[in-house]
Every structure is written in C-alpha cells, then in structure tokens.
C-alpha cells in the first residue's frame, strides 16, 4: 500500500453551501470524436449564504482553451487549478463566465462524461461526469436553466438530442447540422445529457389525464425498432400510474428514452432525455426473457418516476443519494406490483425483493463496505450506488408506508413536494414531511439513515391459558460495523398475525393497540431494546406469523419447531411468510447437510427427511396457488445466502449439499414435476404478463429439477423444449437445464450462438450461462475470454462473463488452489485501466474474504494485496480494496 497516494475521504459533516449560484448555462458543442470543442457560458451570482468570494469549478480530462470573466480573458495567474478544482478568487457578485475547453470522447473508455459508443455520442453525468465535459460547479445543489447548441456531421450523426424542448435546427456548412435545445426547468448538472447519433425512433402522441398531449419517443439503433414496444408501453403505464397513485404529472411536452449498448449502469434519468442500457429497453419474445421484460418495466418506471423524485426535488449532496434512489426504487416496486394487480402477484414481487436483500444487501451490510443508507463519508461516490442506498433505502421508505398507511404516506409525499419542489434537499427533509403530514414523531426513525448493519429482531412467546393472553417479546440488536461499534435501537415495524391449529388467522386484540376490530395482522412498533406485546382473548396457544410481508429489513430470530414451520408453510395467509417458512425449513437442512459434507468430504452419507419432501410435494401440486409463488417456494436458498449463515464458509461443501438436496427432491417428486411441467405450458402467442410468466417460471423450475440427474426421457424433454421453444424464456431455460445436467451441452451452446450472434444482449446471456455453470472453472473462463465476441470494454459483456463467474459460481471461484483469485486480481487491474466503475464493482467480489477457511483466506488476501500494490489505481478500486484489507 502506498499511503502517500491515498485519495482523500469526503465527509458529510464538511458540507458547505456553494459560494456562487448559477442562473443560466449556455452550452455549445462542436462534436468530433477526437476533438470536441465545448463553449460554456455561465451566468452566476454570489450566494449571500456563503462567506466565500471564490468561484469553485470542477473539471477533469479537459484541455482549457480560454476562460473569460465578465468579458475579459483571465490570465493563468488570476485563477488556480489544483487537481480537478479550478478556483477564481475574489470574484465580483455578478459574473458571466465564458469557458472554452477541448475533450476527446473517443478515448473516454470510462463511459463517464461525453463518450462514443458504436460510433455515436452519448453522455453520462451522474454523479460527477459533467466535469469531464466542461468546467462547472458540479454539485447537485447548484441548479440552473440550460440551453444547448449541438453541431455535428449530419451524415454520421443525423439525430441531435438534449434535455427539454427542441427550439431550432438546421443545416451548416461542410455537411454539418445543428440543433438547439432548451430545458425550461432548473436542474443540477448531473441531469444534463446529449445524444448525437445514428438512431431511429418509435414515437407516440400521448394524452395525459389533464388532457395535455405529450410526445413520447424511444430511440434505438436501426434494426432494433422491432424491440421497442414494451419499453413504450411501460413508459405509458408509468405516466398513468404516477398520475393515479401520487397525483404527479409529466411536466414536459416531450419525453425521450435512448438505448445505448455501452453503459455503466441500468439507466439514467436525465431531464426529458433518459439514457438507457440497451438491456433495459430492447425486447421481443425471440430475444428477451420474462425477467428481461420485468426489468424493462421496472427500469422504465424507475427513470420516469425520478422526474419528480430526483429531478423536481433533488439531493443537496451525494450523501443524500438515497433520498432519490431509495424513494424511486420503492416507487418502481409499487408500480410493478400494481401492474400485476393481484394480491398474490404483489406477494411474489415482495418475495423477489426479500431475495435480493438477502443475496446482496445483507452481505454488504455485514462486510467491509458496510455503510448507512445515508453514508457519512466516501472516497469515490460511484462506489456508493449500492444495494444499501437503493434497496435498503427502498425498504426504509416502505416502512413509512407500513407505519403511516397508504393514505398517510401519500399525505407525506404531497407535503414533501409542496415544501421542496425545485429544491435540493436532505433525507431528513423527507422524514420531516412524513412526520409533519401525519402528526407523528419520527425522530427515532432517523437511525435507519444513520446506522449501518442489519438489525436482528429476536422473538420469544408465552401463552397464559388461564388469562387467555399471548405475549410476543421482541428484542433487537445490531452488529457492529466499520466506525460504528455500538448501535441505538431502531424504530421497527413488525407486522404480526396469529394462526390457530387449523391454520386460520385469529382476530387480534392487541393490548393498547388501536387497530380495527377484525384485524388479523397488526403492526407492532418495536422502539426499545426489548418490548412485550400482549394479545388478549386468545383461546389456544397460537402459532405466530412474525414480520409479515417482510415489514422491516431485519433478520428475524425465532425458535420455530419444524412442526410450526410446516404449519405456516401450509397455511399462512401472508404469502411472504408462507414462503419464508419453506425457506427456513430448507435452510436448516442445507446447513446440516453442508456441515456433514465438510466433515466427511463427500455426499455419500447425506440424507433428506421425507417430511420436507412431502411438504414440497404438497406445495408443488397445490393448484390453488399462483404458479409464480410455487416456483419461488421450490427454489432453495442460494449458495450465497447459505454462505452468509455460516461462520466459516466452505463453498464446495455448500454446492455439494445443495446439489444433493436438489437431486433428491428431483428424484422423489419426479412424477409431480413432470405433470406440472406439462400443466404449465403457455401455448399460443407469447405474452409477458405475470400469470404466463409465472407458469413458465414454474414449468422451467420443474425442468431444472428433472435435469439435475436426468435419464434419457428427461434429457429429451429439455432438448425438445430447446428445439421448439417459441420464446427466449423457454429457449434459455432449456439450455441452462442442459448445461447443468452434466451432459455434453456444447452442440446446444453452438446452435444458440449461431442463432443469436448478431443480438448482443443474447450473446451476453450465452456468456453468462457458461460462466455460472458448475463445470466452468477459471481455465474455461479464460478460454471464453478468447472468443471473438468477448471484450472487456463493453460493461454488459464484461459483467456477463467475469461477474457471473466470480459472483455466480462460488464453488469454482473459490477453487482450493486460489487460481481464480489470481484471475480476479488480474482482471480488476486490467479493467481499472479501461473503466474504473466496472473494475470497482468486480473488486467487491472479495468483500467477504475474512469468512473463508484460513487456507482460502490467505490466498484471497494475497490477491487483494496484489491489486492494492498497483501503481496507478483509480480511486474507485483503491477505496474498495483498502476497505477490504483494513
């Protein structure tokens, strides 16, 4: 490690207001891949709230040609450039700055700022990319009105787009043309965008509830116009939903979505010009799976909803990122649930959210990168676009709704906009709006924003048959995290129901509660370290269903017996807890089996009890249940989630145990699996609706169980599905099942590649499937990297192969000889030279290194140290590896 080059840490407590406020920005672009000229005219005014008279601008990778202040060119002695900060001291109160810079989009492989993808120009400015385009006070609390003039070669870049409204366009000399755009709304620089590209669009005039007509466009490369329908439909659904659920209307006359193949994240909510990873736009049945369709709906919704939660009201500083992200994820989750429209569909989306939290957020909260939903410090803000800020942040927002009810939550939202429209605010402002609109004291709730770590809620019960009282005693604790050894109690909503011996919900009478008389679920508010909640008039000892609908992002401890869990698994009216009972039953067994494999070295001694198998059989064939729910109930906890429950992780033993369990279930339930496979076919034209998608999910889960140890008949079923599938969901599922069956899948892989080699997103799938296959070791990954279609420069492609191996194939990634760790180090370093954001994500694969057996730990540490010792590491990667080693 080289302490001398350690990048600085930025602290939330050091926030100061901007010294100058910007009124207008006029940008002129002469777009050229090798030499783009940016002319920037800013009118600014001293901020009376600031004691400083220095103008502070940010700029990176820019060539400064000229800097003029109020019409006069500044000599280099009149300003100072220190790293990425340009300071003009002793400036007058009213300032017009004119700045001319050069940049080189073609060399910008970081995909932050202005860059070239497949020969066209795109931008990504969040969080701090605008400073790679021009000098500017690049901080979200500086909001201004933008006018943008784009000039470029007309033949190569026929489409010129920016934020807001097109106010002028025309021809220039030498085959060039121009377009002038004006955004009527004040915005922070991170919401700026431009596109200069060879694209085509699907467009539609759409009438808002108010009667106003708007123009909606989805822009894609030629040849992809047959894949824009679902994104357009999702956009219209999003517009309608935000009007209905939150009374929020689209404020622009024109709303554009542009798909680009090279993109660091999912998508970006630039005002009126959302730029998307192609993965979240392009779909037709031939190339996209049900999961892809659901992803498009969610991300189109997410970016659209940002127009109010993020753009109209934005963040004061980047520590407040969850103000917009947690809230907007919550909104997109509710949107997706409402689009399904049924209670069971809603529950299925909720279960998916719980799985994501356990798979990714709980580990983050327990690892070296743990941070509060509102972090107190960071080195590189791009490292904090995390599952904690996004998904845990959404859980925090959801808890307001759980505590205040839907109407109370809506009141809070209304007050939030009434108070803060057009402002850059803090998470605390959102909490205050929720509290004030409902006359509630939510001061303790602040700890969800300030304390990292996953709280553990422990439940005990006691029943007094004479007094007919049933007590639930809840206590809470939260493990220490970096910099936070001790935690104060959280304000935790714990939704509870009580089941009788027949599995029926008991009507509840909570002592001191003010719930409706016939309630069968009540929300207990746990605020102390320990609290007793008493239910009256309980005639028999009930079985408690605790944390219904996963009412808080916590770990629930309760000593359920197997019989109680089986009872809940059979009867709980709360689908999330019903699913949860099955997961607990499975997890208990998986942990035992894993310990046995570790002790004996193989699976020979393993046994699975018939009780569990029979419970799964009953659930599988229960046609009163939603197929999507049955599918989720039959999926065993993932290897990563199992690993999180173990003190010392043995990845190979986990894999062996889980495979044993899958094989045993597959063999025991063969008849029923085959029957359900046939019963859940979806003949006719493909539709991504939830019921059809659920049937396919269940059917394909059955197939995967049948193919764990297949005989010829099962293999044939999979082969036929592969050959005859009329959609990508079924085609890909058959291929994955064949790959995992242990037989020779090469011919199928080859056929699949040949069919789809011109569909980049399907080629990504092809790499991803192989990366996560149990037989794929690091040598096989290296070989796949030699494939002509592989490149590290495209983030989707890099993730498809590399990330799906390091994160999706734990038994191989943790090979005893440490060869995959060396591979990881090599790739982090290589990627860092191309794209630090992507490299830093890969670096996170080592977060949990301290939990492995000493022999593995030692090798992981070596790999981390090897990366840390590199000379020219980005701040992004340096922060991740140094925190891992700290």
Closest to ligand ARG by CB, 690 or 877: 877
Q: Does the protein bind ligand ARG through residue 394 (CB under 6 A)?
A: no
Q: Does the protein bind ligand ARG through residue 332 (CB under 6 A)?
A: no
- Spatial neighbors of 599 by CB under 8 A, at least 6 apart, are none
Q: Among 264-272, 351-359, 559-567, 777-785, which window interacts with ligand ARG (CB under 6 A)? A: 264-272
540 labelled catalytic: no
Q: How far is the CB of 46 from Zn ion (least distance, A)?
A: 33
- Largest Cα–Cα separation, the chain: 94
**Encoded tokens for 376:** 């107190």
Distance of alpha carbon 589 from alpha carbon 587, whole angstroms: 5
**Residue 265 binding: pick among Zn ion, ligand ARG, none (C-beta 5-8 Å cut-off by kind):** ligand ARG
Distance of alpha carbon 61 from alpha carbon 103, whole angstroms: 7
Q: Does the protein bind ligand ARG through residue 325 (CB under 6 A)?
A: yes
**Residue 128 binding: pick among ligand ARG, Zn ion, none (C-beta 5-8 Å cut-off by kind):** none
Distance of alpha carbon 211 from alpha carbon 348, whole angstroms: 35
Q: Among 113-121, 212-220, 262-270, 758-766, which window interacts with ligand ARG (CB under 6 A)? A: 262-270
Distance of alpha carbon 300 from alpha carbon 280, whole angstroms: 7
Vertex 187 angle, CA 183 and 188, to 5°: 140
**Residue 451 binding: pick among ligand ARG, Zn ion, none (C-beta 5-8 Å cut-off by kind):** none
Closest to ligand ARG by CB, 24 or 377: 377
Task: Note the Cα 87 to chain centre separation in Å.
Answer: 37
Exposed, middle or buried, 34 (CB in 10 Å: 0-12/13-18/19+)?
exposed
Q: How far is the CB of 315 from Zn ion (least distance, A)?
A: 11
Q: Does the protein bind ligand ARG through residue 706 (CB under 6 A)?
A: no
Tell me which DSSP letter residue 25 carries. E
Exposed, middle or buried, 78 (CB in 10 Å: 0-12/13-18/19+)?
middle
What DSSP string describes 678-710? HHT---SS----HHHHHHHHHHHHHHHHHTSS-
Closest to ligand ARG by CB, 390 or 612: 390
Q: What does the per-residue mask of binding to Zn ion show for 123-162, with x meaning CB under 5 A?
A: ----------------------------------------
Q: Does the protein bind ligand ARG through residue 378 (CB under 6 A)?
A: no
- DSSP lists the bridge partners of residue 37 as 30, 102
Q: How far is the CB of 126 from Zn ion (least distance, A)?
A: 9
Q: Is 684 left (phi over 0), alpha (psi -120 to 50) or beta?
A: left
Closest to Zn ion by CB, 357 or 653: 357
Q: How far is the CB of 837 from ligand ARG (least distance, A)?
A: 6
Q: How far is the CB of 307 from Zn ion (least distance, A)?
A: 11
**Residue 138 binding: pick among Zn ion, ligand ARG, none (C-beta 5-8 Å cut-off by kind):** none
Q: Which of residues 321-340 bind Zn ion (CB under 5 A)?
A: 325, 328
Q: How far is the CB of 328 from ligand ARG (least distance, A)?
A: 7
Q: Which of residues 268-327 bind Zn ion (CB under 5 A)?
A: 325
Q: What does the per-residue mask of binding to ligand ARG show for 108-127, with x meaning CB under 6 A?
A: ------------------xx
Closest to ligand ARG by CB, 704 or 835: 835
**Encoded tokens for 695:** 């049937």
Closest to Zn ion by CB, 325 or 631: 325
**Residue 268 binding: pick among Zn ion, ligand ARG, none (C-beta 5-8 Å cut-off by kind):** ligand ARG
- Spatial neighbors of 82 by CB under 8 A, at least 6 apart, are none
**Residue 568 binding: pick among Zn ion, ligand ARG, none (C-beta 5-8 Å cut-off by kind):** none
Q: Does the protein bind ligand ARG through residue 265 (CB under 6 A)?
A: yes
Q: How far is the CB of 266 from ligand ARG (least distance, A)?
A: 6
Determine how many CB atoms are found less than 10 A away from the CB of residue 204. 14
**Residue 264 binding: pick among ligand ARG, Zn ion, none (C-beta 5-8 Å cut-off by kind):** ligand ARG
Q: Does the protein bind ligand ARG through residue 267 (CB under 6 A)?
A: yes
- Among residues 385, 470, 705, 766, which is the contact residue for ligand ARG, using CB under 6 A? 385
Q: HEC states along 150-187?
A: EEEECCCCCEEEECCEEEEEEECCCCEEEEEEEEEEEE
Q: Of 388, 112, 379, which is closest to residue 264 (Cα–Cα)?
A: 112
Q: How far is the CB of 330 from Zn ion (least distance, A)?
A: 11
Tell me which DSSP letter residue 136 carries. B
Given the residues 303, 364, 395, 631, select the one marked as catalytic.
Answer: 303
Distance of alpha carbon 598 from alpha carbon 414, whole angstroms: 56
Q: What does the per-residue mask of binding to ligand ARG show for 546-575, with x meaning CB under 6 A?
A: ------------------------------
Instruction: Give me the residue whose beta carbon is nearest to ligand ARG.
Output: 385
Q: What does the per-residue mask of binding to ligand ARG show for 127-166, with x meaning CB under 6 A?
A: x---------------------------------------
What DSSP string describes 380-426? -GGGG-SHIIIIIHHHHHHHHHHHHHHHHHHHHHHHHHHHHTT-EE-
Distance of alpha carbon 46 from alpha carbon 94, whole angstroms: 7
- Spatial neighbors of 402 by CB under 8 A, at least 6 apart, are 493, 495, 523, 549, 551, 552
Distance of alpha carbon 533 from alpha carbon 123, whole angstroms: 54
Closest to Zn ion by CB, 276 or 400: 276
Strands of 238-339 (E only): list them: 254-260, 267-268, 273-277, 314-315
Q: Does the protein bind ligand ARG through residue 297 (CB under 6 A)?
A: no
**Residue 336 binding: pick among Zn ion, ligand ARG, none (C-beta 5-8 Å cut-off by kind):** none
Q: How far is the CB of 193 from ligand ARG (least distance, A)?
A: 12
Q: Which of residues 484-513 bind ligand ARG (CB under 6 A)?
A: none
**Residue 127 binding: pick among ligand ARG, Zn ion, none (C-beta 5-8 Å cut-off by kind):** ligand ARG
Q: Does the protein bind ligand ARG through residue 303 (CB under 6 A)?
A: yes
Q: How distant, in Å, are the alpha carbons of 206, 425, 766 from that of 215?
A: 6, 30, 37
Tell me which DSSP letter residue 273 carries. E
Closest to ligand ARG by CB, 280 or 824: 280
Instruction: Report the relative pairing of strands 85-88 and 55-58 from DSSP bridges.
Output: antiparallel
What DSSP string describes 618-684? HHHH-TTS-HHHHHHHHSPPPHHHHHHT-SSB-HHHHHHHHHHHHHHHHHHTHHHHHHHHHHT---S
Q: Among 234-242, 267-275, 458-466, 840-848, which window interacts with ligand ARG (CB under 6 A)? A: 267-275
Q: Among 209-217, 263-271, 538-546, 860-868, which window interacts with ligand ARG (CB under 6 A)? A: 263-271
Determine how many CB atoms are found less than 10 A away from the CB of residue 835. 24
Tell me which DSSP letter residue 799 carries. I
Distance of alpha carbon 856 from alpha carbon 845, whole angstroms: 14
Closest to ligand ARG by CB, 234 or 545: 234
Please work out the total of residues on this chain that contact ligand ARG, with binding judged by CB under 6 A.
13
- Among residues 242, 269, 290, 574, which is the contact residue for ligand ARG, using CB under 6 A? 269
**Residue 123 binding: pick among Zn ion, ligand ARG, none (C-beta 5-8 Å cut-off by kind):** none
Q: Of 172, 170, 192, 174, which is closest to residue 182 (Cα–Cα)?
A: 192
- Among residues 99, 268, 415, 697, which is the contact residue for ligand ARG, using CB under 6 A? 268
Q: Which of residues 562-581 bind Zn ion (CB under 5 A)?
A: none
Q: How far is the CB of 306 from Zn ion (least distance, A)?
A: 6
Please report, as ranges, the residues that interact with ligand ARG according to CB under 6 A.
Answer: 126-127, 264-265, 267-269, 302-303, 325, 382, 385, 837
Which positions are catalytic? Answer: 303
Please report, as ranges, the residues that interact with Zn ion according to CB under 5 A.
Answer: 325, 328
């Amino acid at each position: 490690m080289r302490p001398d080059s350690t990048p600085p840490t930025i602290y939330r407590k050091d926030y100061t207001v901007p010294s100058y406020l910007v009124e207008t920005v006029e940008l002129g672009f002469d777009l050229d891949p090798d030499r783009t000229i940016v002319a920037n005219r800013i009118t600014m005014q001293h901020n009376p709230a600031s004691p400083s008279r220095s103008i502070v601008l940010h700029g990176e990778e820019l060539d400064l040609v000229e800097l003029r202040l109020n019409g006069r060119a500044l000599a280099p002695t009149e300003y100072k450039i220190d790293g990425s900060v340009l300071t003009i001291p002793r400036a007058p109160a009213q300032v017009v700055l004119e700045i001319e810079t050069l940049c080189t989009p073609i060399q910008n492989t970081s995909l932050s700022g202005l860059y070239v993808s497949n020969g066209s120009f795109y931008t990504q400015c969040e969080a701090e990319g605008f400073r790679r385009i021009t000098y500017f006070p690049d901080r979200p609390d500086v909001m201004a009105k933008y006018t943008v003039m784009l000039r470029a070669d007309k033949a190569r870049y026929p489409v010129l787009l920016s934020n807001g409204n097109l106010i002028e366009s025309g021809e220039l000399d030498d085959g060039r043309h121009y377009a002038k755009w004006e955004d009527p709304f004040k915005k922070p620089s991170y919401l700026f965008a431009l596109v200069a590209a060879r694209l085509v669009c699907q467009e539609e005039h759409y009438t808002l509830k108010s009667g106003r007509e708007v123009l909606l466009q989805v822009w894609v490369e030629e040849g992809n116009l047959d894949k824009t329908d679902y994104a357009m439909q999702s956009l219209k659904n999003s517009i309608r939903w935000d009007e209905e659920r939150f009374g929020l209307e689209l404020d622009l006359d024109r709303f554009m979505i542009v798909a680009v193949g090279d993109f660091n994240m999912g998508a970006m909510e630039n005002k009126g010009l959302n730029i998307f990873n192609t993965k979240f736009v392009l779909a037709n049945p031939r190339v996209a799976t049900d999961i892809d369709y659901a992803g498009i709906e969610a991300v189109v919704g997410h970016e659209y909803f940002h127009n109010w939660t993020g753009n109209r009201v934005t963040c004061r500083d980047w520590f407040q990122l969850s103000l917009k992200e947690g809230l907007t994820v919550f909104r997109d989750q509710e949107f997706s649930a409402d689009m399904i429209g049924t209670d069971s569909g809603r529950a299925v989306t909720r279960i998916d959210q719980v799985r994501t939290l356990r798979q990714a957020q709980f580990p983050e909260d327990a690892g070296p990168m743990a941070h509060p939903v509102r972090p107190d410090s960071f080195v590189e803000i791009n490292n904090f676009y995390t599952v904690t800020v996004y998904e845990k942040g959404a859980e925090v927002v959801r808890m307001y709704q759980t505590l205040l009810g839907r109407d109370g939550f809506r009141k809070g939202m209304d007050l939030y906009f009434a108070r803060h429209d057009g402002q850059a605010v803090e998470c605390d402002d959102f909490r205050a709006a929720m509290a004030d609109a409902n006359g509630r004291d939510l001061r303790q709730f602040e700890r969800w924003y300030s304390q990292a770590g996953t709280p553990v809620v422990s439940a005990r019960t006691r029943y007094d048959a004479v007094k007919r009282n049933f007590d639930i005693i809840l206590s809470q604790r939260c493990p220490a995290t970096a910099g936070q050894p001790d935690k104060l109690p959280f304000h935790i909503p714990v939704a509870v129901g009580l089941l009788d011996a027949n599995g029926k919900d008991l009507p509840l009478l909570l002592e001191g509660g003010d719930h409706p008389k016939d309630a069968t679920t009540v929300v207990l508010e746990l605020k102390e370290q320990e609290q007793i909640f008493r239910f009256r008039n309980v005639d028999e000892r009930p079985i408690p269903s605790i944390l219904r609908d996963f009412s808080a992002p916590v770990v629930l401890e309760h000593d359920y017996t197997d019989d109680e869990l089986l009872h809940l698994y059979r009867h709980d009216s709360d689908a999330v807890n019903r699913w949860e009972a099955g997961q607990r039953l499975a997890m208990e067994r998986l942990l035992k089996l894993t310990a046995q494999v570790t002790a004996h070295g193989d699976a020979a001694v393993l046994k699975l009890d018939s009780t569990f198998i029979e419970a799964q059989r009953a659930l599988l064939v229960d046609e009163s249940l939603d197929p999507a729910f049955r599918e989720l109930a039959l999926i065993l906890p993932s290897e990563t989630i199992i690993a999180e429950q173990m003190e010392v992780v043995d990845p190979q033993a986990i894999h062996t145990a889980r495979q044993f369990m899958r094989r045993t279930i597959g063999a025991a339930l063969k008849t029923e699996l085959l029957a359900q496979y046939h019963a859940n076919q979806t003949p006719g034209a493909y539709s991504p609706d939830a019921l059809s998608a659920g049937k396919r999910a269940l059917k394909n889960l059955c197939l995967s169980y049948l193919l764990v140890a297949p005989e010829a008949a099962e293999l044939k079923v999979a082969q036929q599905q592969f050959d005859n599938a009329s959609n990508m969901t079924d085609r890909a599922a058959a291929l994955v099942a064949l790959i995992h069956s242990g037989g020779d899948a090469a011919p199928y892989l080859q056929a699949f590649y040949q069919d789809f080699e011109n569909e980049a997103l399907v080629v990504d799938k092809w790499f991803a499937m192989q990366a996560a296959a149990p037989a794929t070791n690091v040598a096989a990954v290296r070989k796949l990297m030699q494939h002509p279609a592989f490149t590290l420069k495209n983030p989707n492609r890099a993730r498809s192969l590399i990330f799906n191996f390091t994160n999706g194939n734990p038994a191989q990634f943790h090979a005893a000889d440490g060869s995959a760790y060396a591979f990881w180090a090599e790739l982090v370093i290589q990627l860092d030279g191309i794209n630090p954001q992507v490299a830093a994500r890969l670096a996170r694969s080592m977060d949990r290194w301290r939990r492995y057996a000493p022999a593995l730990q030692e090798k992981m540490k070596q790999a981390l140290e090897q990366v840390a010792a590199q000379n020219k590491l980005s701040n992004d990667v340096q922060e991740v590896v140094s925190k891992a080693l700290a």
